[in-house]
Amino acid sequence: MGIVNVTPDSFSDGGVNLDPDVAAAAARRMLADGAAIVDVGGESTRPGSDGISGEEELRRIVPVLERLEGAPVSIDTTKAAVARRALELGAELVNDVTALRGDPYMAETVADGGAYLCLVHMQGEPRTMQRSPRYDDVVDEVTSFLEERLAVAVRAGIPEDRICLDPGFGFGKTAAQNFELLQRLDTLVAVGRPVLVGLSRKRSLARLQGNPDAATGSIASSLGAAVAAYERGADILRVHDVREHVEALAAARAVWG
Ligand code: HH2
């Protein structure tokens, strides 16, 4: 899954894709490089971000989706109105980092639109989530949460076989908690739904290089983490650098045989 953030403030590619022609070209390049789908988002959910109105989010993403007609697209949004418009414009998957908790109309929007859904774990909300994330057992808590949200989604009429689960790296988690989730990814895989992971360029990766102040992790560290996640059963990798990840996965697959 390639990432196309149509935002001025995303943590690693903010401002790059604000022109819809540039954003659509970037998305098409990712698909040509081997992405199965591109995730278009109009609102940054980076730690500390405040959120924007639905009108502003639509203003950013609609021209991009119009230019991507016929391409496999996912919409990264927490707002039902944005998801509804994106589905009308051909999006197939709704990537909701609130796991249907952010907007009371999101579940029926996904169900009525016949869309796929990604449920993401987040402790707190983007503005405050990194202040002091706390868990007794991060793996058990994230897994139980996602099982509960999966049940909610299915009760709302979204077929289970259209839903994938995401532990939400960096969404209310310390670097140590992120890596524990990755080490024990098999617990989430055992739930039986495809697992999506978003590690690409995230700050926890920069910590490994001993740089606590870096805002982004390197491509090389993203690749290492992605291959490790793949080996632990991740099905979908949400990444900025598609070609590099496709090549790294091809090598990992060749080793696996
Ligand atoms: N991470 C981000 C945004 N959306 N969706 C899923 N399913 N999983 C993730 O890990 C995830 C996500 C944050 O990364 P990014 O889109 O690069 O930045 P920003 O939120 O600043 O736009």
CA distance 69 to 92: 11
Pocket mutation for ligand 1, best pick of 46, 129, 177 (most atoms within 8 Å of C-beta): 46
Q: State which ligand 1 atom lies nearest to the alpha carbon of 13.
A: 17
Going from the Cα of 198 to the center of ligand 1, the distance in angstroms, rounded, reads 7
Question: Which two structure tokens, joined as six digits, stand for 133?
Answer: 């994330």
Edge-to-edge strands, sheet with 93-96: 2-5, 38-41, 73-76, 93-96, 116-120, 163-166
Name the residue with the closest Cα to ligand 1, atom 3.
45
Residue type (1 letter), 91: A
CA distance 167 to 143: 8
Report the pLDDT value the prediction gives residue 25, as an integer from 0 to 100.
Answer: 98
**Within its chain, how far is the Cα of 242 from the centroid?**
14
Q: State which ligand 1 atom lies nearest to the alpha carbon of 166.
A: 7
Helical H segments across the chain, by residue range = 20-32, 54-67, 80-88, 106-113, 138-155, 175-183, 185-189, 203-208, 219-231, 242-256
Pocket flag, ligand 1, residue 77 (CB < 6 Å): no
Report the pLDDT value the prediction gives residue 209, as an integer from 0 to 100.
Answer: 86
Question: Which two structure tokens, joined as six digits, stand for 12?
Answer: 């690693």
Report the pLDDT value the prediction gives residue 138, as an integer from 0 to 100.
Answer: 98
Question: Which two structure tokens, joined as six digits, stand for 181?
Answer: 């989730």
- Distance between first and last Cα of the chain: 23
Nearest to 101 by CA among 60, 146, 144, 59: 146
Residues in the chain: 257
Count of C-beta atoms within a 10 Å radius of residue 132:
10
Going from the Cα of 11 to the center of ligand 1, the distance in angstroms, rounded, reads 9
Q: State which ligand 1 atom lies nearest to the alpha carbon of 43.
A: 22
Name the residue with the closest Cα to ligand 1, atom 14.
46
Question: Which two structure tokens, joined as six digits, stand for 243?
Answer: 């070609």
Pocket flag, ligand 1, residue 116 (CB < 6 Å): no
Name the residue with the closest Cα to ligand 1, atom 10.
198
Block residue for tokens 């979908």: 236
H or E stretch covering 118? strand 116-120
Q: State which ligand 1 atom lies nearest to the alpha carbon of 11.
A: 21
Question: Which two structure tokens, joined as six digits, stand for 253?
Answer: 């697959």
Nearest to 27 by CA among 18, 40, 15: 40
Residue ranges in the chain whose pLDDT is less than 70: none
Catalytic sites, residue numbers: 202, 238
CB distance 106 to 100 below 8 Å? yes
Report the pLDDT value the prediction gives residue 224, as an integer from 0 to 100.
Answer: 97
Going from the Cα of 41 to the center of ligand 1, the distance in angstroms, rounded, reads 9
Going from the Cα of 45 to the center of ligand 1, the distance in angstroms, rounded, reads 6
Going 57 to 59 to 237 to 109, the CA torsion angle's sign is positive
CB distance 70 to 89 below 8 Å? no
Going from the Cα of 257 to the center of ligand 1, the distance in angstroms, rounded, reads 31
Pocket flag, ligand 1, residue 43 (CB < 6 Å): no
